Amino acid sequence: MKQNSCLAAGLLALAAALCPCASFAADGPPKPRRPAYPHFLDKYPYLAESNRYGGLLDPLRRIRLGDSSWLQLGGELRYRFDNVNEPAFGLKGVHDDDYLQQRLQVHADLHLFDDALRAFVQFENTDSWSKEVFSPYDQSGNEIHQAFVDVRLPSPGDGTLIARVGRQEMTYGNQTMIATRAIPNVRQSFDGALLQYGNAAGYKVDVFAVRPVANVRLGSFNDSSKDAGDFYGIYATLPIAGQVKDDLYAYSYQRDWRRLDGVSGEEDRHTLGNRLHGSVARVDFSWDAMYQFGTLGDTDIRAWATAGTVGHTLRDVTWHPGVALHFNAASGDDNPNDGESNTFDPLFPANGKFFGEASLTTLANLISVGPQFVVSPRRDLTVSLTTLSLWRETENDAVYLPGMNPLAGTGKASGRHMGMSYDMFARWAAAENLTVDLEYLYYDVGPAIRNAGGRNAQFVSLRTSLMF
């Protein structure tokens, strides 16, 4: 581990040295802070309008190939060091787990004929050292993470219609059910086709037919979507009034074999959902309501979930303090013998966004509620504290970890209260394209976990990301 830590320190020093910290002259165009995820959304309009570059790597970010064509090159280098005390609440036989992970991504983005045709390819290298409680998403060598082609199709009015085919990332709404899995080492991608429409009025519709790249294996260039199931969906955004919008979505996930709640067999799981989100009188809110139905083996699927956040930020006050209330609930299976499967499955969620990155909670057989407090002491620093009280929705079903993995022994343990979670997160924008994240989570277990032999858990994570 000492050798690996030295390697990380050396590479991070190199990253800081390469980070484009120079700024434009007063009469030059401003350089925006780049978005971190996903990279196929990276755009550099200021480079199209000026030949002057403000950063060391700017000449690679928009290589002109003609009046209407250009090539973008870029990537990201991330290191993550975690210290976990009682991973999985100590129920996997490991009590301390310290490990280092690396993720390197590089991409090429070719735009032709004013974006009438586009090709994007992204390579990803992931590695993990000294991890004892291993997951499939810790490392996968060298892989083609994304490789797709976009074609702009004729569209009426001011709308834009894009057809995309290939391997791609997807993220929708508040990432309650579809996300990029940005913090775990191996990100989520899908193989298939996407049709995307949007117009100036804010109406958007995505229709997709894909397979998740779920067969993540050790070695290189061997991850695939084979036998991972067929995933279909439609996601539409409708402007309501002012800053308020309504999202309507429907998903269908079909798998040849799946085991859940002691039932196994072919699964056809369908989800209908609605998300109301926006801002009214400086109060920001997002609320999802979801219902699942279908079949699993010989049982009928009947499950529900809701995920909501409402908050307010004092933007005119020093440190810009903000407060929010989070509420999440998802059904569990209260009777394994009634011919129904009632445990909600969140499919491909951003668990860490809602419950911290310790991989201790997911939106299944769950009720969680609690406040979040956020301050920004400086323009480049944000600190948040989130406290959640968590219960099982039904005592007759297990506590679930990410990936819909039941926590050992909790299916038969008494008690609904899972415990209290305290999460502190700080993000420092150390330079224009360099961020440093520090997270600490303490989970004080309740009877639902303690009666199964679980112990209090602690998690510390230091993550550095250089976007170039």
* Contact indicator for 467, 74 with CB cutoff of 8 Å: yes
Torsion angle of C-alpha atoms 393, 394, 400, 402, degrees rounded to 10: -30
The residue length of the chain stands at 468
Which tokens in the block code for residue 49? 């309008």
Q: The domain containing residue 14 runs over which residues?
A: 2-467
How many domains does the chain fold into? 1
- Report the C-alpha gap between 11 and 45 in whole angstroms: 30
pTM listed for this prediction: 0.90
Phi first, then psi: what are they for 136, rounded to 5°?
-65, -15
CATH number of residue 437's parent domain: 2.40.160.100
* pLDDT in 10s for each residue of the chain, 468 residues: 444 444 443 444 333 333 333 332 333 333 434 435 678 887 777 777 666 666 677 788 888 898 899 999 999 999 999 999 999 999 999 999 999 999 999 999 999 999 999 999 999 999 999 999 988 899 999 999 999 999 999 998 889 999 999 999 999 999 999 999 988 999 999 999 999 999 999 999 999 999 999 888 888 999 999 989 999 999 999 999 999 999 999 999 999 999 998 889 999 999 999 999 999 999 999 999 999 999 999 999 999 999 999 999 998 999 999 999 999 999 999 998 899 999 999 999 999 999 999 999 999 999 999 999 999 999 999 999 999 999 999 999 999 999 999 999 999 999 999 999 999 999 999 988 889 999 999 999 999 999 999 999 999 999 999 988
